[in-house]
Structure 1
Amino acid sequence: MFGDWIWLAEQEQENQRVLFWDGFMVEDLDAPCDVWICATDKYMLFINGVLQGTGPARSTRQEGWIDRYDVTSQLRKGKNTIAVSVWNYGCSTYQSLYDHGKLIFDILQRGEVLVSSGESTWCMKDAGLIPGAPKRNVNLGPADYYDAQCGDGSWFLHPDKINGWQKSVVCKQVNKRLRELPERKRTIEAKRPKRIVRIQDVECDCQVFTVNLRRALFANRRDADETNLNAFLGCVLRSEWCQRGVISFPNRRWNGIFGSFRVGEKVYEASDACREIQVEMQEGENFFLMQIHGKYDDLYSHIEFRFSHPLTVCPVKERGFFVTLPTTVLTTCQDGRHEIYEDIDFFSEEETGVFACCSLEELQGRATNVKWIPENDV
């Protein structure tokens, strides 16, 4: 590759998408022209505003796959543009390993470099991407939540007419071996609906809260390994009426955090086989405390509330959710000598005492290490 690995000059953030573009001149429209490109974690490539493809194939920190695209048919005589959107998750999934965000590309015609990535490449953060979007699945990255009032969804059509671009910076000490993907070139075919089957309204029948516990429980953790731990997640729920409803958990434990919980003085059992629980809510404030107990493969908790009258989470601090920091953590390993732990099947005396608390005041009175979840993690 002739280009350099490049990225935004700002400090890297979790779940960040960066936009890049550059111009190049073409005089011969008949000579074959190829784009060579690689990025972490995901990219979308546009030539003169036309999507050419997405990638790359699954890579590691030490090795990456280069995609090659024949863009000859997309060229214009004179000035042309390459635009690339690169989405970096900032953490591992079961399909990708965490690596710093970066992009590298070359455009070659008859062996001549028309343009390559470097300090002259323009870039900016995609202001429309909502970084605090929920991560619904341990296999995938965060959901693509986009605010079109903040970002320009058609930026790749005329990037030179948008303000706010800055020069890219060259990433230092990148030690990644690059190899061309040995598969056939992928093609894109536009598919559009041919007929309307039915029209229906979608009714919102529940409140859904997604709580990202990664930073609260394990501050700088980037991996997606399974974790055995004991801790607690809680909040104070306000109900305007005395009512009966359902608290449910859409994911099984391998794909989200949930467990048995109490509402006030009553304890409700939850398991993979029983994830929809009938619950009584008293008028006023109701203390909710859930066990984080066992083996989990992701550190997000997805909680659904189905009640006739909506509940509110009392904003005691931040957005109202808190965790007690783990009192028990088991680290698994497999090297032929050490024990491989199954799910944690015990509570310590301290943990049993914490779960016996029926109010936030009682919990705080036990001098338990309570940590409030930041607003952008709910």
Structure 2
Amino acid sequence: MTIELDPLMTWGIVVCALVVLVAAFLLGRRSGIRRTLNSVRRFVHPANLSDSEVSDAARYRAALIVNPTKTDVRRLASTAEAICRFEGWNPPLVFETTIDDSGEGATIRALDEGVDVVIAAGGDGTIRAVASALAGSSTPMGIVPLGTGNLLARNIDLVLDKTEWALRIALWGRNREIDVGAARIAADGDSHVFTVMTGLGFDAAVMADTNDELKSRLGWLAYVEAGSRKLAGKPSHVKVTFDDDYRISARVRSVLGGNCGRLQGGIQLLPQAVIDDGMLDVLIVSPKNLGQWVGVLASIAGRRASKGLHTNIRKCQKVVIESREELDVQLDGDPIGQSSYLEMEVRPSALTVRVPTVEQRKQIRADAWPV
């Protein structure tokens, strides 16, 4: 018995087979799904078409929040616009931070405009402000690191010294959900978001006493200079309560809580901290004299701070530190004044950040991207 196929049905089978073969080929390439999706996006709204040929409604749009003290805003905005045009995105919305708005208000305005990603261009303070507004939302944050520490960028393995690469990662990178911390310096006070670590005592005093002019010339070595002048201080008596359950009393120089612990120079201050494990790592530093500081430095250098000489780390979801005296407090390296109370709590998976894809990492290592 002979079965005759309708010509339209035959063509339909052939077309379906070709689609399957092409999809399998694309998905099997080294770039994987990301390149396939990017190719589809560019086919839908290719970068070389004029605005009259491609509807603005079909394009993505980014917001760029820039700290003008860290870079030439006009030059960065021009670079971002050129990259967005090449990638088939609308021109970015550009906002500058001010003394009165370090980035949170600008981010809220960007969200009201319905942008697809908010890019924080500045130091850790700018990134923290943008993260404060984005935490709890589904809009991802891209990062162009322009500060001295760039701590969050270091801890999520972003490229630090290539603005164009950082912008492209912000547009087409992989979304990663990370934890953020929430800190209060009064039991009934406002909550402040932090992305890396917050501390009370020695570390905050160093941040507060670092010379800005020296920091602009020496970078992170300016913190070392300030720290050397603070080593001889006296310990403070504190009560530390973990998860409303376990309490200790101690004489300490510093108490820090963090989501991640990599600092400049490859130093791992919190060696077991994981940025998306839903936990805070709390470090207690308790040397009594200059000699014992040597033990602290040896513990940190050897990544044994969790149970080192005059250091101790405990994991928790919430911690409250109460001191007999007013001590300096810092959020992600920014001094915020003095307090005898510091409460920190983790907010699991509260922030989505753009990080490099596997293919982007390969291209960056090969110094072959962008092209």
Q: TM-score range by the shorter chain?
A: under 0.3
* TM-score of the pair, normalised by structure 2: 0.27
* TM-score of the pair, normalised by structure 1: 0.26
Could you say which structure has the higher strand fraction?
1
